[in-house]
Amino acid sequence: MNITENFTITLSCLFCDAALTKEENKELHSGDLIKCQNCGEENDYESVYEIAKEQGIEQVKNEVMNELKKSFSGLKVKI
């Protein structure tokens, strides 16, 4: 099971928090700048990616915790 397949992360503008969109079929690399369609500021790809990745990790962590709690809800207690 690859849990990360169920998650997509959105890159957000560092200045106005709008979702960033890249040009179709354009590969982004470290050091690239993504221009925000909302405020026009240029975002460093690596910075926004790192932030999005952290948020993605949090999402996956929460999901895993929920799944764990669910699978433990049927646990019988023996006393």
- The contact set with Zn ion (CB under 5 A) reads 13, 15-16, 18, 36, 38-39
Specify the residue for token string 């040009």: 23
Min. distance of Cβ 41 from Zn ion in angstroms? 5
Nearer to Zn ion, 14 or 60 (CB): 14
Nearer to Zn ion, 16 or 68 (CB): 16
Min. distance of Cβ 32 from Zn ion in angstroms? 16
In terms of DSSP H, where are the helices of 1-79? Answer: 45-72
Q: Rounded to an integer, what distance in angstroms lies between the CA atom of residue 65 and that of residue 79?
A: 26
Min. distance of Cβ 67 from Zn ion in angstroms? 35
Angle at 74 between CA 2 and CA 68, to 5 degrees: 30
